[in-house]
């Protein structure tokens, strides 16, 4: 048994043991109904105090001390082996009584699995027996497979298991352990997991030399494969999509239901509760909403990615290659946002025409997102319903797109003193030299003399001479550039650049960067790796 947490108790909650409530302990072991797998963490009797014994300090002192050992200042502490064994020997232990582990999920999550049938009190409704955790075959003892059970429990709208993030994490760990059985953990760390529809767990361990990037979970090998692919197939746009819960299609109805609090009529006695009880109910609703919202977002995002890759009627044209990655911010409990690298079909255009085409897809100010002369075309596509909706789209752009330095991630240190930082997000209105043109401005670089000496020996660098005072690098990797897009000269807002069609549909924060010839894939791989 694993100790999953201890909560503080008061002096009035002394752990007590009434022999009559359990019967004779000797009869417990003689009863054939008890011949199921059991566990008892204790190695010796833990003396329990009776209520009213007059003892000044009770068992709650010991448990409070154990809780202090587990958490300090809100941060979990791992503890050494001796401390872990001490706490584990106290967890869920009553001397003389061993707890059955025939139904493991019911033991770990009693709030979901708590009811037993009248004819078989040893079983638990909805909980598979421990025999179902054997390796193969998948349908053990006539039960559904672990993967089928996990999908059902995570998506069943009338089950409390579908709104518990800890239970979802437990189910993921279960599938990951099943997929990783027989593999060295270092191999999994390097190769990661892949989607395997033929595996009982739905997951497979990736292959180190496999170059396929499709349906690959996070791993260092996937990034190396991405870097290798970029040599053969260029990427043209780097896109970031962040879901706006209030406006995004497929999510807005969930947010509206939660905020309206119409769900309160389904909570018996809600209006007669105390304020703190109502706050607890609202918090429970928020937690349940988060789980359902995450599940819906994963489905919506899959449809959105499928549209980007397969649509030929959008302004992007045909997408030849795409790489998509979900990223979760460490300091935020929000939904994941999508990073995407896409390569477009350029066969009908020469290089200059293609760069101009890609550059004009990017919009750097609210006024350029949807000008009035394009409004009729967007209405035909169903992206804008009427003039009022056009104004609402502009309002969303002014609300969600302006850049704000809310995180240290967007700050770059500019001096040795504390607080000397500048925002690395460029404002194209000030960075652009010619507002009506796509510009590729050189980035500042600093190469060491040793590096230049090696590059000169292999023919990639020419040092300055009397006739030519400028040094020259003969590979674009050593002359990195940054794209500065077209922007209206009178623009005042510093927004994250977007693609017009995509913003009109999602009404959510975006970031669309042109990376044609900028080495953007290399920088992205380095950023994620380190």
Please indicate, yes or no, if residue 135 is contained in any of the structural domains.
no
Share of the chain above pLDDT 70, in %: 72
Residue 38 has a pLDDT of: 60
Whether a cis peptide bond, with omega within 30° of 0, leads into 277 is: no
386's tokens = 């009427």
Question: Do 240 and 95 fall into the same domain?
Answer: no
DSSP code of residue 513: E
pLDDT for 96-148, tens place per residue?
Answer: 555 567 888 888 888 898 888 888 777 788 888 888 877 666 777 888 888 88
Q: Is residue 170 packed enough to be buried (19+ CB in 10 Å), middle (13-18) or exposed (0-12)? A: middle
Residue 203 has a pLDDT of: 80
Residue of 362, 407, 366, 357 whose CA lies nearest to 390:
366
Expressed as residue numbers, the domain containing 41 is: 1-101
Please indicate, yes or no, if residue 228 is contained in any of the structural domains.
no
Does pTM surpass 0.75? no
- 248 in Cβ contact with 507 (< 8 Å): yes
432: CB partners within 8 A, 6+ apart: 439, 484, 485, 486, 487
- Lowest-pLDDT range of 170-179, 212-221, 424-433, 438-447: 212-221
Q: Give the side-chain half-sphere CA count within 13 A for 251.
A: 25
Q: What is the mean pLDDT of residues 406-432?
A: 69
Please indicate, yes or no, if residue 166 is contained in any of the structural domains.
no
Would the pLDDT of 408 be above 70? no
Would the pLDDT of 458 be above 50? yes
Residue 97 has a pLDDT of: 59
Would the pLDDT of 5 be above 60? no
**What is the distance between the alpha carbons of residues 169 and 150, in angstroms, rounded to a whole number?**
11
Q: What is the mean pLDDT of residues 20-37?
A: 45
Residue 67 has a pLDDT of: 53
- Lowest-pLDDT range of 51-55, 351-355, 383-387: 51-55
Please indicate, yes or no, if residue 62 is contained in any of the structural domains.
yes
**What is the distance between the alpha carbons of residues 428 and 435, in angstroms, rounded to a whole number?**
8
Which of 86, 101, 116 is the last residue in one of the domains?
Answer: 101
Q: What is the mean pLDDT of residues 415-439?
A: 76
- Domain count for the chain: 2
Which of 101, 124, 152 is the last residue in one of the domains?
Answer: 101
Please indicate, yes or no, if residue 144 is contained in any of the structural domains.
no
Residue 457 has a pLDDT of: 92
35: CB partners within 8 A, 6+ apart: none
**Could you write out the DSSP letters of every residue in 235-275?**
--EEEEE---TTTSTTTHHHHHHHHHTGGGGGSTTGGGS-H
Q: What is the mean pLDDT of residues 69-91?
A: 58
Please indicate, yes or no, if residue 121 is contained in any of the structural domains.
no
Task: For the chain, give the mean pLDDT.
Answer: 77
Please indicate, yes or no, if residue 371 is contained in any of the structural domains.
yes
Question: Do 241 and 97 fall into the same domain?
Answer: no
At residue 73 the predicted structure's pLDDT band, cuts being 50, 70 and 90, is low
Please indicate, yes or no, if residue 376 is contained in any of the structural domains.
yes
pLDDT for 278-335, tens place per residue?
Answer: 999 998 888 888 888 988 998 999 999 999 999 888 888 899 988 888 888 765 557 8
Other beta carbons within 10 angstroms of residue 364's beta carbon come to 25
**What is the distance between the alpha carbons of residues 437 and 47, in angstroms, rounded to a whole number?**
81
b or e along 80-101 (b: 16 or more beta carbons within 10 Å of the residue's beta carbon)?
A: eeeeeebbbebbbbbeeebebb
């Amino acid at each position: 048994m694993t100790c999953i947490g201890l909560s503080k108790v008061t002096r009035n909650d002394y752990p007590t043991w009434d022999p009559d409530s359990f019967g004779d302990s000797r009869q417990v072991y003689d009863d054939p109904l008890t011949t199921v797998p059991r566990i008892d963490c204790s190695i010796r009797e833990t003396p329990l105090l009776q209520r009213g014994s007059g003892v000044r300090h009770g068992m709650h002192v010991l448990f409070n001390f154990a809780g202090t050992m587990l958490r300090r200042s809100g941060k979990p502490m791992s503890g050494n082996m001796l401390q872990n064994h001490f706490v584990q020997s106290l967890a869920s232990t009553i001397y003389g009584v061993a707890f059955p582990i025939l139904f493991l999920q019911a033991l770990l999550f009693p709030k979901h699995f708590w009811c037993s049938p009248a004819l078989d009190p040893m079983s638990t409704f909805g909980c598979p027996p421990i025999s179902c955790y054997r390796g193969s075959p998948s349908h053990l003892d006539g039960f559904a497979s672990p993967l089928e059970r996990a999908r059902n429990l995570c998506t069943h709208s009338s089950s409390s298991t579908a709104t518990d993030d800890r239970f979802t994490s437990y189910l993921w760990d279960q599938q990951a352990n099943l997929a990783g059985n027989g593999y060295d953990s270092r191999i999994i760390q390097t190769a990661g997991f892949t989607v395997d529809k033929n595996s009982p767990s739905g997951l497979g361990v990736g292959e180190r030399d496999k170059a396929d990037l499709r349906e690959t979970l996070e791993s260092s090998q996937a990034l190396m494969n991405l870097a290798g692919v970029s040599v053969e197939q260029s990427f043209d746009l780097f896109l970031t999509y962040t879901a706006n819960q209030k406006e995004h299609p497929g999510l807005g109805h969930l947010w509206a239901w939660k905020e309206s609090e119409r769900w309160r009529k389904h909570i018996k006695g809600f209006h007669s509760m105390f304020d703190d009880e109502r706050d607890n109910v609202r918090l429970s609703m928020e937690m349940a909403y988060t789980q359902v919202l995450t599940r819906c977002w994963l489905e919506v995002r899959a449809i959105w990615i499928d549209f980007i890759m397969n649509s030929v009627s959008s302004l992007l044209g045909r997408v030849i290659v795409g790489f998509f990655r979900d990223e979760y911010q460490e300091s935020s409990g929000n939904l994941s946002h999508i990073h995407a690298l896409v390569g477009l079909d350029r066969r009908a255009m020469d290089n200059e025409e293609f760069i101009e085409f890609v550059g004009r897809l990017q919009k750097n100010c609210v006024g350029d997102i949807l000008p009035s002369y394009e409004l009729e075309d967007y209405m035909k596509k169903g992206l804008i319903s009427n003039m009022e909706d056009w104004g609402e789209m502009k309002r969303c752009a002014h609300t969600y797109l302006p850049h704000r330095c809310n995180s240290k991630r967007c700050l770059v240190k500019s001096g040795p003193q504390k607080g000397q930082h500048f925002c690395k997000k460029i404002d194209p209105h000030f960075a652009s030299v010619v507002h009506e043109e796509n510009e590729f401005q050189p980035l500042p670089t600093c190469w060491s003399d040793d590096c230049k000496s090696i590059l000169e020996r292999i023919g990639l660098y020419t040092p300055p001479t009397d006739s030519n005072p400028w040094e020259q690098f003969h590979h674009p990797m050593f002359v990195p550039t940054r794209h500065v897009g077209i922007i209206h000269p009178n623009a005042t807002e510093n927004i994250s650049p977007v693609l017009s069609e995509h913003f009109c549909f999602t009404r959510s924060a975006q970031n669309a960067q042109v990376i044609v010839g900028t080495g953007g894939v290399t920088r992205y791989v380095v950023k994620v790796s380190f």
